[in-house]
Structure formats: C-alpha cells, structure tokens
Amino acid sequence: MPGMVPGFLARAVDLLLGRQGRSLHFKAAGAATVVLLFVVLVGSGLVVAAERGAPGAKLTSYPLALWWSVETATTVGYGDFYPVTVWGRLIAVVVMVVGITAYGMVTAALATWFVGRDQERRHHRLHQAEQAVEQTYEEMTHAVHERFDRIERMLEGGRTQ
C-alpha cells in the first residue's frame, strides 16, 4: 500500500498538469488543485501536531483533522472542529486561503472554458454566414453579368439589322 500512494499522486499530478495542449487556465486550475491537495493533507498532520495536548483541542487525530481541513478549504466550516492554538489557527488560515484560491481558479477555468466554447460556436456560425453571403454575392454577380451580356448581344443584334 505505501508504494501505491506516491504512484497514485504522480499519476494525479500528471493528469492535472501534464497535458501539452491544455490551455493556461486549466493548467493553473490543475496546479491550484495539486497545491490544495498537498495543503489539505499536510495541513491535517500539522494541525494535529499543533493541537496535541492543548486544553479543549478537538483535532486530536489525523482523520478528524482531515475532515476539518476539507470543510475548512471548502469554506463549509460546520464548526464541529476548530483549532484552539495559535499555530493551529495559522495553519487554518493557510488552508482557508489556499482552498478559496483553488476553488476560485477552478471556477474561473470552467467559466472561461464555457465562454470559449460559446465564442467558438458564434465564430463558426459567423463564418458560415459570411460564406453564404459570399456565395450569394458571387451568384448574383454572375447573374448580373449574364444579363448584361445578354443585353449587349441584343443591342449588338439590333445594330446589325
């Protein structure tokens, strides 16, 4: 099991950051997610160490601290667990700021993706409309030239008679 965790993390980081064709906003969101995961996992361990033996401390085990880190990073904050020491609260501030930043970046990346897809669709429709207008213009120009040619032939035929 211990050998699987680093491999899993390496695959997760590669999945989030490793794609060449990915846009900058998705790379930034992926990097923020990796940082968030790291801060949640490490912050949970650090807060347990900071709270150990403090009077009134509720973050006394890694699983409880992990739950606290997730609810803090997501800004849910049920209030069931919270740090009571200065160091624990400083760790909480880091988890909060990184969580808010990461979720903001992911939200911005998704919004940018949706807006980009909509712009691509609009551009495609505009291009199709421009092609249709150009084709219609060419057809009308050809028809006008044919009519002028026919009128000229008619006029020339009238002169020769």
Domain ranges of the chain: 21-119
**pTM (whole model) above 0.85:** no
The 10s digit of each residue's pLDDT in 100-145 is: 998 888 888 888 888 888 888 888 899 999 999 999 999 999 999 9
Alpha-carbon gap, residue 112 to 122, rounded angstroms:
15
Q: How many CB atoms lie within 10 A of CB 40?
A: 21
Measured CA distances, 102 to 19, 28, 94, 105, 120 (Å)? 19, 9, 12, 5, 27
Contact 29, 106 (CB under 8 A): yes
1.10.287.70, 3.40.50.1980, 3.30.565.10, 1.10.760.10: which CATH number matches 21-119?
A: 1.10.287.70
